[in-house]
Amino acid sequence: SIPAQETIKDLCFTEGGLLVDDFNDIFSDIFSTRGPQYKRIIEMLGDGPKEPKDLAGLVNMTYTGTFFEYLEDLEKSGFISRDY
């Protein structure tokens, strides 16, 4: 059997997935003009957890309070979760 996490990834993030367009619509509605930055963060986390400093570099953002606001917004909206 395929783990639920893998199924969700395929449905939401794989080209041709049933919910790919829904993901883009939801992102646009929630995050408006800052959507592309949020989406880059999500995409970089698609293959597994990252340390915040490493993630900031991968998405070409400065490791500052603004970057942490993005992470907090994504966490509060349920798109990501913090791994302690």
For 34-41, what is the mean pLDDT?
A: 89
pLDDT at 33 over 90: no
pLDDT at 79 over 90: no
Alpha helices by DSSP H, listed for the chain, are 4-13, 20-31, 35-45, 52-58, 65-76
Give the closest residue to 6 by CA, choosing from 44, 45, 47, 49.
Answer: 47
Give the closest residue to 56 by CA, choosing from 65, 73, 14, 12.
Answer: 65
Cβ–Cβ under 8 Å, residues 84 and 75: no
The pTM score is 0.69
Between helix 20-31 and helix 35-45 the angle, nearest 10°, is: 130
